[in-house]
C-alpha cells in the first residue's frame, strides 16, 4: 500500500504563531502537537561501535546474525529521514531524545543513540536553537527519556549544555495547566525540557520526566496499538502533566528476521502509516483528548498537518457552546 502524499511541501514553520488567540490562551496540554519518535535517528554512524543501549533487537542481530553488517542495522535503527531543521519546518514540535556517552572515549561528550550512535547532542541542540532564533513565537518540547553509559559527570555536562545553548528560552518548571502559548510568549520562553533522571531534580529549568508520560504499546499490530492508545488516553492524568500518544509500531525480533534486508521503513512502517494516520484523524484534543502525538518517518504521510488541524475542533467546540 502506498502512503499518502507528504505535506512537507507546505511549510509549518510558524504554525503556533498562526493559531487563533482562543487557542494560544488554552493550556498547551489541551492542544494537538505533532512529534517525532527517535527524532535524531535521521543519521547514525555505521563506523562507530554498537551502542550501549543494547536493545534486544540489536543484541539479537549482533549475536545470531554475525554476517549482518551495520548497514543493515542502520535500516532498523533509523526512524526518521528529516533533519531537526526539516522536522521543525514541517511542524514537528516534540522531540523524543535518547542519549549516551561513547564507552572508551575520554571526556564527557554525549551523543544521540538508537542502537547505533548519532550526532553529538550539542550539534543537534544548536540546530534547534537556530530555528527558534528565527521563529520567536514557536516552541519545542525536548524529552530526554533514555540515558545510557552516563555517570553524574555526563549528566552535569548535559544539563549545563542545555542551559548554555538555550539560555533564557528555557521555561522554568511551573503548573502545567498554566502553560499556554500566551504565557510562553510573554516570558519569551521557547523550550520545555523533560529529563527522566534524578540528576536534574535540583534544576528549576529542567522538568521531571513524570510531567510528560509517553505510554508505549510495544506491538506490531495496529489493532492492538489503537486499543492501547485509546485505553491510555482514557487513563491520562486529568491534572499536572502533558501526555504523549506514541502512534508507532515496534518491531519484534521475528519481524526483523523476516524483513532483514528491507528495514523498518520498507517492511513495517510504510504499509501501516496510512491506517495509523486514519486513526489520528479521528482524534480530538482537549481536556480528555490527545495532546502530543508522535510518528515514525513524519514526512511519509500528511502527519504534521493532520495533527495541527485537529486544533480546529477546539474552536468549533467553543463556537457551539456560544450558540
The residues annotated with a catalytic role in the active site are: 37, 114
| DSSP-derived pairing of the beta strands 116-120 and 111-114 | antiparallel
SS3 sequence, the chain?
CCCCCCCCCCCCCCCCCCCCHHHHCCEHHHCCEEEECCCCCCCCCCCCCCCCCCCHHHHHHHHHCCCCCHHHHHHHHCCCCCCHHHHHHHCCCEEEEEEECCCCCCCCCCEEEECEEEEEHHHHHHHHHHHHHHCCCCCEEEEEEEEECCCHHHHHHHHHHHHHHHHHHECCCCCHHHCEHHHHHHHCCCEEEEECCHHHCCCCCEEEHHHCCCCCCCCCCHHHHHHHHHHHHHCCCCCCCCCEEECCCCCCHHHHHHCCCCHHHHHHHHHHHHHHHHHHHCCCECCCCECEEEECCCCCCCHHHHHHHCCHHHHHHHHHHHC
In this structure, what C-alpha cell is assigned to residue 150? 552516563
* Cβ(83)–Cβ(95) below 8 Å: no
CA–chain centroid gap for 47, Å, is: 26
Alpha-carbon distances, residue 284 vs 141, 182, 313 (angstroms): 20, 22, 7
Q: CA 107 to CA 151: how far, in whole Å?
A: 12
Distance CA 286, CA 153 (A): 40
Amino acid at each position: 500500500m502506498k502512503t499518502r502524499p507528504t505535506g512537507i511541501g507546505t511549510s509549518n514553520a510558524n504554525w503556533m504563531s498562526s493559531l487563533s488567540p482562543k487557542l494560544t490562551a488554552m493550556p498547551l496540554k489541551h492542544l494537538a502537537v505533532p512529534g517525532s519518535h527517535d527524532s535524531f535517528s535521521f543519521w547514525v554512524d555505521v563506523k562507530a561501535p554498537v551502542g550501549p543501549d543494547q536493545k534486544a533487537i540489536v543484541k539479537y542481530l549482533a549475536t545470531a546474525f554475525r554476517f549482518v553488517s551495520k548497514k543493515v542495522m542502520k535500516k532498523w535503527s533509523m526512524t526518521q529521514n528529516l533533519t531537526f531543521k526539516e522536522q521543525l519546518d514541517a511542524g514537528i514540535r516534540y522531540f523524543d531524545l535518547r542519549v549516551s556517552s561513547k564507552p572508551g572515549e575520554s571526556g564527557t561528550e554525549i551523543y544521540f543513540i538508537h542502537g547505533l550512535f548519532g550526532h553529538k547532542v550539542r550539534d543537534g541542540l544548536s540546530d534547534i536553537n537556530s530555528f527558534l532564533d528565527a521563529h520567536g513565537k514557536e516552541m519545542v518540547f525536548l524529552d530526554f527519556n533514555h540515558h545510557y553509559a552516563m555517570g553524574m559527570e555526563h549528566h552535569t555536562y548535559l544539563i549545563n549544555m542545555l542551559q548554555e545553548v538555550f539560555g533564557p528560552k528555557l521555561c522554568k518548571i511551573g503548573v502545567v495547566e498554566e502553560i499556554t502559548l500566551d504565557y510562553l510568549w510573554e516570558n519569551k520562553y521557547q523550550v520545555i525540557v523533560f529529563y527522566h533522571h534524578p540528576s536534574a531534580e535540583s534544576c528549576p529549568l529542567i522538568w521531571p520526566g513524570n510531567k510528560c508520560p509517553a505510554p508505549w504499546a510495544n506491538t506490531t499490530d495496529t489493532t492492538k496499538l489503537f486499543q492501547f492508545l485509546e485505553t491510555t488516553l482514557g487513563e491520562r492524568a486529568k491534572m499536572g502533566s502533558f501526555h504523549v500518544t506514541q502512534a508507532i509500531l515496534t518491531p519484534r525480533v521475528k519481524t526483523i528476521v523476516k524483513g532483514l534486508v528491507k528495514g523498518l521503513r520498507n517492511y513495517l512502517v510504510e504499509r501501516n502509516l496510512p491506517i495509523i494516520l486514519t486513526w489520528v484523524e479521528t482524534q480530538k484534543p482537549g481536556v480528555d483528548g490527545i495532546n502530543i502525538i508522535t510518528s515514525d518517518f513524519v514526512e511519509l504521510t500528511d502527519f504534521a498537518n493532520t495533527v495541527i488541524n485537529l486544533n480546529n475542533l477546539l474552536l468549533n467546540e467553543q463556537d457551539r457552546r456560544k450558540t
